[in-house]
A = this chain, B = another copy of it.
Amino acid sequence: MNIEMIKAAATRLAPVVRRTPMLSSPFLDEMAGRRVLVKAENLQHTGSFKFRGGWSALSGMTEAQRAKGVIAYSSGNHAQGVAMAAAKFGVPAVILMPADSPILKIANTKALGAEVVTYDRLRDSREDIGARLAGARGLTFVKPFDEPLVIAGQGTVGLEIVEQAMAEGVEQADVLIPCGGGGLTSGISITLEGTNLRARTCEPEEFDDAARSLASGKHEVNATQGGSICDAIVTNSPGEITLPIMMKNCGSGLVVSDAEAMQAVALAYQRLKIVLEPGGAVALAAALFHTDEIESDAVIVVATGGNVDTDVFVRCLETL
């Protein structure tokens, strides 16, 4: 992975991607004790940054390969990102989703034009089902994070952050990034090389595989396998490609509680007028509630997504 791959992805993305705004509020600055800039990727197509990786992957394939279609595993944001990218290219997308996924997520993914194939989370092997479908139809897998084209697409967020930070007069800052498998974090971290902006991972408690992997220098795994309110960014362990990049570029990882993530959702609603999912708000939570773990005078927060169930969102608002 290198910066040229990310710049090439930015060129491919330019006609379709939404340049998301950098938001701020004096109320959040005061809470954090420093300037807080929020890169609102929840406003990206499909409600999360994942559209960037999806489009980057599809636009980086040969036309023959793309024409046969793509396949992805995901119950959430990656599914919608890949589905919309495929729809805009007019090629088939198959999304494998657990049969017990929220009905709305399945419906949304179908409405974006994808064929949704469900599997039983306990009895079926999604890898077997996926391999069979891919083989039979000539579909190309789009991995959620451990794939150079996907990392390059997510990294385009970083190119925009560097430009927008300059425009705001911010030259030195911690850049806090919600981290699942590390595709977004590793991609952004490459774009920050040579600047005084430093990428740092943010995760929910009990799912802090990235923070622990960064500390130990090897792939740590989570003891728990799911059930977090921050489900959008929970993965078992950082990627093979992403972890070495993060080890080279990132500061220590930050870890927030579910309650802090939920409060951050509420404050983003109240002060920034944006809708975040708890997983998409962990970096904002770190900026607001872990201020003594941050050194620089300014903090840049990536708000990664806003695909939240309404009952969860209302519970978050009750923390106000």
A interface residues, Cβ below 8 angstroms from B: 18-21, 23, 26-27, 40, 42-43, 47, 84, 108, 111-112, 269-270, 272-276, 306, 310, 313-314, 317, 320
8 contacts between A and B (CB under 8 A): A18-B23, A20-B21, A23-B43, A40-B43, A42-B273, A43-B274, A273-B275, A275-B275
CB of A307, distance to nearest CB on chain B (Å): 8
How distant is the Cα of A27 from the Cα of B107 in the complex, in angstroms? 11
How distant is the Cα of A6 from the Cα of B70 in the complex, in angstroms? 48
Which residues does chain B contribute within 8 Å of A21, judged by CB atoms? Answer: 18-21, 43
Given contacts A19-B21, A21-B19, are A272 and B310 in contact (CB under 8 A)? no
| Contact A112 B26, beta carbon cutoff 8 Å | yes
- From A19, A26, A84, A313, name the one whose CB has the most chain B CB atoms within 10 angstroms: A26
Which residues does chain B contribute within 8 Å of A269, judged by CB atoms? Answer: 275, 313
How distant is the Cα of A42 from the Cα of B270 in the complex, in angstroms? 11
Given contacts A112-B26, A310-B317, A317-B314, are A273 and B19 in contact (CB under 8 A)? no
Considering only CB atoms, which chain B residue lies closest to A269 in the complex?
Answer: B275
Which residues does chain B contribute within 8 Å of A306, judged by CB atoms? Answer: 273
CB of A206, distance to nearest CB on chain B (Å): 26
Considering only CB atoms, which chain B residue lies closest to A22 in the complex?
Answer: B18
Which residues does chain B contribute within 8 Å of A23, judged by CB atoms? Answer: 18, 43
Among candidates B26, B275, B317, residue contacting A274 with C-beta atoms closer than 8 Å = B275
Task: List 8 other contacts, CB 8 Å, given A273-B274, A313-B317.
Answer: A21-B21, A23-B43, A26-B112, A27-B111, A42-B273, A43-B272, A274-B274, A310-B317
How distant is the Cα of A270 from the Cα of B108 in the complex, in angstroms? 11
How distant is the Cα of A276 from the Cα of B274 in the complex, in angstroms? 9
Which residues does chain B contribute within 8 Å of A19, judged by CB atoms? Answer: 21
How distant is the Cα of A286 from the Cα of B62 in the complex, in angstroms? 43
Which residues does chain B contribute within 8 Å of A108, judged by CB atoms? Answer: 27
Considering only CB atoms, which chain B residue lies closest to A48 in the complex?
Answer: B273
